[in-house]
Structure formats: C-alpha cells, structure tokens
C-alpha cells in the first residue's frame, strides 16, 4: 500500500504531530548486487539506517526510516570494497525517493507551476526541483520532431533589448544594440503537437538551420507554412522548403490596415489642430470604433460614427472617413478567407480595394496598397486555403505568460525547455477537460 517497490513496512505509528512514521526493511534480493560489477554479495558488515523523504501520505507528511544492510564486495576486480543497499525507488546517496523527485519535476512540466512554487509545495530547494524538471522534460520530449502538414513560424521577444553608447564614424555618440533577444518558434497548426522547437535569433540563417536539421521525410511532409509579413521568414522558407505553399496570416494584414487608419487620424489631427488628439476631439473619441470591423458593429454604433465624421471639419473628417472605407474594403476581401471563393469574387473585391486606396489620395493608404500588392501571392494563398497562423499566436501568448509567472529567465536553454513543456501540455494530456458547456470535451472512459 505504500507503493515503494523493494521495501516492506514492518512497523508504523504516529508522532506527536499525527504524521505517520513507517519503519522499512529491504524486501528485494537484487539490492544485494554490487553496483560496480553486479556480483551478488554474501557477507554483511552491519546495518545502516537512513531517512529518505517521500510524498505525503493521506495529506500528512510521511516519515520513513529504512534499515538496510551494508555488504562487502569480494570481487578483486571491483574498486568498491563495500556498498549499501539501494533500489530504483530509493536511489543510492539520495535523500529523496524517486517519486518525490519525479512529482516535483512533473509539477513544473505538466501542472504549469514555477520552479519556486514546486519547491515550496514539496519543501525542496530550487536547484533540486529545477534538476528534476530538466530530467522530466527531457524524458517526455519526443525523440524526433512530429510530422506536420501545416507549419507555423512566429517570433517572440525574450527579454528587453540592451544598448550601449559607442563612438560613431562621424565622432558623435550613437546607440549600439548589444543584445536583441528573440526566439523564433515553429509549431504544428493542425496536428495538435504544439510547439515543435525554437531557435534564438530572428535571422534567415537560424530559421533555415532548424528546418534543414529535420529529416528529409519531415520536410517533404510540410505542405504549407504560415507566417506574418516578415521577409526573414519568407527568405528562409523559400530556401529550405521551396515546395511548400507560403501563407500570410490575415490577422497581420488587418493589423497593418488599422495602423494605417490610426496614422491618418493622428496626422490630420496634428496638422489641423496643432497638437495631439485628446478628450473633446470627436475623432480621438472614435479611435477604437475606427479599428473595429463594420460587420461586427451594431447599427447604433456604426451609423452615428459615420455621421460624426461627416460633421467634423472637412480637413479632418473626410481623410479619416476615406481611410476607414479603404480599410473596410480590405476587410471585405479578407473575409473571403476559408469560404472557397471564386476568382471573380476575389478579383472584384481586390479591384475595389485598389481603386478606393488610389481615390483616397492618402499616402498611408497608398503604402497599404503597395504592401498588399507585394505580398499578394501569399495573401491569396491564405484566402483560398483557409490556413491561419492563430495557433502560433496562441503559443506565443502561453510562452509570455509562463515567463511572467517565472519573473523572467536568465538561461535561454531553460526558457526553451519551459516553453516547450508549457505549450505541449494539451498534446500530452495534462490539461483539464471540460465535461460540459460550450467548450465541452468528452471524458475518456477506460476500457474494462
């Protein structure tokens, strides 16, 4: 009932605090074999008593007292003259049972706790728990990268950039980047494998190096790669996965369009009012509505917003309204995502967007149209295939949340290991299933 293989409880009583105290003796004959040569010992040189720490029993701290023998090794080729009994459940020279150490490591890797939280819960030191986590994480990580059909690539910042003042070529002081920490992550968009790996540095060679380090069969199985509008990722994918379809995620296109509308609003406000927008300026008060999709706005909000923009001075309201219309034309085009549109539908909405951007006469909208034209093959691939990079964004959010809980990291290797465990818990079956509700998941029933 204790669950420690190789030992037998011969006595049990409670101490003054009510905690169980268990006396153990060795019950496994294999413990008599010498760890050096494996020869069975026949001569004992006395008894040794140890007190290994174990998990709580019925919610109470358990005190173990293990009485074991010291054996003499008679093999002349063995460097050991004597040894004490040891078991896989209670290793030699360890004050902890294997299951206590494994529980502390699993709490970090599978339960989402920080190393410090697990150390406090198990009453262990930080280095012991961190070593247990590393051992557990390396054991549960797959030996080979899981095969994927749709690959997502995205970056996340690891800490803040560091700068220093140096002497420039013209003799003036300039700021030089000392460390710009970025992690580029690769994730499975459809198979549920989560984070596949990370590399340090947001460069095309580092991304290509990770891809080319995978097996040829793995690379051949990648049919599509989803990225944001990053030329670094585009160059790496084009070089290392030339057969894969490159897709630009529509979220970043909408984000670019919203930023363009915000730039127009800020520019006309600064030009006409001579200052930044503030409370009392209607265009500033409508800043959040301007970046929302019209299809998701209620008529009670949409119609008054248009009327308020028309009521503003002509030099302020007209440019903002024109920029908003261009943004909405682009959103209408992107709303075809995953609907199996025809080429005629795509062509009509794309032409309308280009015409409205040109008719607006706004430099911000012209730059937006240029960006769309530059990335149009990848944008079209996203519209026709329905592939999105949302899974990568969700993984980045989990990575940042884990880093905030740990108050940051100093070791990049440990951070990548923590990020991998934090983002693959669902695939490893360590997230709570919801039996009911809108996000309900079926319970797993054990077969009789």
Given a contact cutoff of 8 angstroms between Cβ atoms, the answer to whether 269 and 283 are in contact is yes
pLDDT at 74 (0 to 100): 81
pLDDT tens per residue across span 113-131: 889 999 999 999 999 999 9
Strand order in the sheet with 182-188: 195-200, 182-188, 150-157, 224-227, 245-248
Q: How many whole angstroms from its chain centre is CA 42?
A: 54
pLDDT at 446 (0 to 100): 46
Sign, CA torsion 426/430/435/439? negative
pLDDT at 264 (0 to 100): 95
Contacts of 425 (CB under 8 A, 6+ apart): 110, 112, 431
* Intervals of the chain under pLDDT 70: 179-180, 432-448
pLDDT at 238 (0 to 100): 93
The HSE-up count of residue 122 (CA atoms within 13 Å, CB side) is 30
pLDDT at 441 (0 to 100): 53
Q: What values do phi and psi take at 277, rounded to 5?
A: -70, 150
pLDDT at 440 (0 to 100): 56
pLDDT tens per residue across span 191-209: 788 899 888 888 899 999 9
């Amino acid at each position: 009932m204790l669950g420690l293989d190789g030992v037998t409880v011969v006595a049990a009583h409670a101490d003054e605090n009510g905690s169980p105290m268990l006396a153990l003796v060795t019950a496994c004959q294999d413990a008599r074999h010498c760890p050096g040569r494996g020869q069975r010992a026949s001569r004992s040189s006395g008894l040794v008593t140890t007190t290994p720490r174990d998990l709580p029993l019925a919610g109470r701290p358990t005190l173990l007292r293990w009485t074991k023998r010291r054996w003499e090794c008679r093999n002349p080729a063995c460097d050991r003259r004597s040894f004490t009994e040891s078991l896989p459940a209670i290793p030699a020279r360890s004050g902890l049972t294997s299951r206590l150490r494994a529980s502390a490591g699993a709490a970090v890797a599978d339960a989402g706790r920080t190393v410090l939280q697990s150390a406090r819960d198990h009453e262990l030191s930080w280095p012991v728990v961190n070593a247990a986590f590393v051992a557990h994480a390396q054991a549960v990580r797959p030996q080979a990268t899981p095969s994927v059909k749709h690959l997502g690539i995205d970056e996340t910042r690891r800490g803040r950039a560091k700068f220093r003042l140096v002497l420039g070529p013209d003799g003036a002081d300039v700021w030089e980047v000392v460390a710009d920490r970025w992690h580029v992550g690769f994730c499975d968009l459809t198979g549920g494998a989560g984070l596949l790996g990370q590399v340090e540095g947001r460069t095309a060679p580092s991304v290509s190096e990770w891809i080319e380090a995978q097996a040829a069969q793995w690379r051949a199985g990648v049919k599509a790669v989803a990225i944001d509008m990053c030329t670094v990722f585009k160059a790496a994918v084009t070089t290392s996965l030339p057969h894969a379809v490159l897709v630009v995620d529509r979220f970043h296109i909408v984000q670019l369009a919203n930023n363009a509308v915000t730039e127009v609003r800020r520019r006309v406000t600064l030009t006409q009012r001579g200052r930044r927008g503030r409370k009392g300026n209607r265009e500033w008060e409508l800043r959040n509505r301007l970046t929302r999709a019209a299809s998701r706005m209620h008529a009670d909000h949409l119609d008054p917003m248009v009327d308020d923009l028309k009521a503003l001075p002509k030099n302020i309201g007209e440019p903002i309204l024109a920029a908003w219309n261009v943004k909405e034309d682009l959103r209408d085009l992107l709303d075809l995502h995953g609907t199996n549109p025809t080429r005629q539908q795509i062509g009509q909405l794309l032409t309308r967007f280009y015409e409205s951007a040109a008719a607006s006469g706004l430099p911000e909208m012209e730059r937006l149209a240029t960006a769309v034209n530059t990335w149009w093959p990848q944008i079209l691939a996203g519209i026709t295939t329905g592939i999105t990079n949302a899974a990568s964004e969700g993984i980045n959010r989990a990575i940042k949340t884990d880093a905030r809980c740990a108050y940051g990291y100093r070791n990049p290797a440990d951070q990548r290991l923590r990020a991998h465990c934090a983002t693959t818990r669902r695939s490893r079956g360590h997230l709570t299933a919801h039996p009911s509700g809108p996000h309900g998941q079926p319970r797993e029933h054990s077969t009789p």
